[in-house]
Amino acid sequence: MTSTKKTAGTRHKADKYTEFVSRGFGKDVAKRLGLPQPAILRRYEPNAPLVGGPILVLGNGAGSDAVAKVLLGWHQDVRRHATPKEKLGAVVVVLDELEHPEQLANPLLALGASLRDVSKNARVVSISRPAAASDKPAVAAARNGVDGFIRSLAKELRSGATANGILLANGIPASSPSAMASLRFLLSGRSAFIDGQFLTASSAGSTAEPDWNKPLDGSIAVVTGAARGIGAAIARTLARDGATVIAVDVPAAGDHLAAVANEIHGTALQLDITNPEAGSRILEHAISRHGRLDILVHNAGITRDKLLANMDNARWDPVIAVNIASQLRMNEAFLASPGLGENPRIISVASTSGIAGNRGQTNYAASKAGVMGMVRSTAPLLAERGGTVNAVAPGFIETDMTATIPFATREVARRLNSLQQGGRPGDVAEAIAFFAQPAAAGVTANVLRVCGQNLVGQ
């Protein structure tokens, strides 16, 4: 679930259990009692190594050779064959030429043989193609088999390791810029709370040399709901990556909004996004100060939970108004304006509730599922301007809101994912920052879950 009423620092105070069982006496107690043993996750730090050891690249085709070459260009320690008992930081398995399920055995069992040698917080990433209705049945079966394999493997990995996949549209090489930008993101600490998920590279993407340290340098970004929690974390992360950020929130949050804007050397705009003129107000602010708008992050959202039998318009209408109707109106204004920069990026915050549903949240789930539908239909409109639109769907994220959940319920919610812990607001922000990068120019119409592979839903 997402909300504007959150703080970025809650996570460090909230999940004492994970810290306790990660070392010494606590680790021994958890092991003896058979309790969950979540790992301290490896998260992004500037100038830190991309992965924690050599990268094993599996696959026999030209695609695997090309991917290995790119990794070498990133100054990674690459292996094409496993060395017994050598600790691995990551395994990349390239399956872009699959034509029959019988071809899965060799590369995937080779991957399995190396799993005992992966280090803590290791990454497993597949590169394959999605099944299509036009495929021959055997080809579709093989390609779809990768989906089930990765999602299942993600549930088997331990010690903070994750498994995710990249899907290549037909004709897109495995080593295309968009696929390699996705690979770098999934290998890095930026993807710490993403597990069992797939990113689709719809086109080859930009061939311009990326700046991996400041990928958003010179960009102008707007973040709604930026005064607290996930929104504040998004604003900070975009600013860290080089963007100039316009932080937007309601006047009632003015003090917190100003504090965030001052911290990141951005500007604050007090605005109710349900105002029909919100889009034009944002554009006017961005153009008057910076000449254009490059990145728009629709983060603002509210909840008004109630069982449907007890739901009324007072609870239903505001959720729809804030969470989806406002985004639709603003997008229309942005797409109609010459003030939208070249190659624009729109990223919306959805929710796993919009995918799997959640008791007492029919209004919220409808609004967040609506966000996903909007993203997919907006993608062709943005493509005409060289832009992309994507959504990020958080699961259980440690915030002020989740901190108020009763202890037993909160603990169950934390442990109901493959990483056995809640995520941080920064985990959501990292995914959004990836979609905003110029290197992700070929990655559009995705709904990426940031949920640690929660056991419900897809």
CATH number of the domain located at residue range(s) 55-191 in this protein: 3.40.50.720
Q: Any bridge partners for residue 244, and if so which? A: 220
CATH number of the domain located at residue range(s) 220-450 in this protein: 3.40.50.720
The answer to whether 55-191 and 220-450 have equal CATH topology is yes
Give me the pLDDT at residue 448, please.
98
Q: Which residue matches tokens 């990349």?
A: 92
Is the CB of residue 121 less than 8 Å from the CB of residue 147? no
Nearest CA among 56, 65, 55 for reference residue 174: 65
| Residues taking part in catalysis | 364
Is 5 a residue whose pLDDT tops 70? Answer: no
| pLDDT tens figures, 226-250 | 999 999 999 999 999 999 999 999 9
The domain segmentation of the chain, as residue ranges, is 55-191, 220-450
Residues 348 and 232: their CA atoms lie apart, in Å, by 15
pLDDT category at 1 given cuts 50, 70, 90 is very low
Residues 3 and 341: their CA atoms lie apart, in Å, by 28
DSSP letter assigned to residue 265:
T
Residues 5 and 250: their CA atoms lie apart, in Å, by 12
SS3 277: coil
- Model pTM? 0.94
List C-alpha distances in Å: 64 to 38, 57, 82, 93, 151.
Answer: 33, 7, 15, 8, 22
Q: Any bridge partners for residue 390, and if so which? A: 347
Is 401 a residue whose pLDDT tops 80? Answer: no
The C-alpha R_g of the chain, in whole angstroms, comes to 22
| pLDDT tens figures, 278-324 | 999 999 999 999 999 999 999 999 999 999 999 999 999 999 999 99
Give me the pLDDT at residue 233, please.
98
**46 phi and psi angles, rounded to 5 deg:** -55, 135
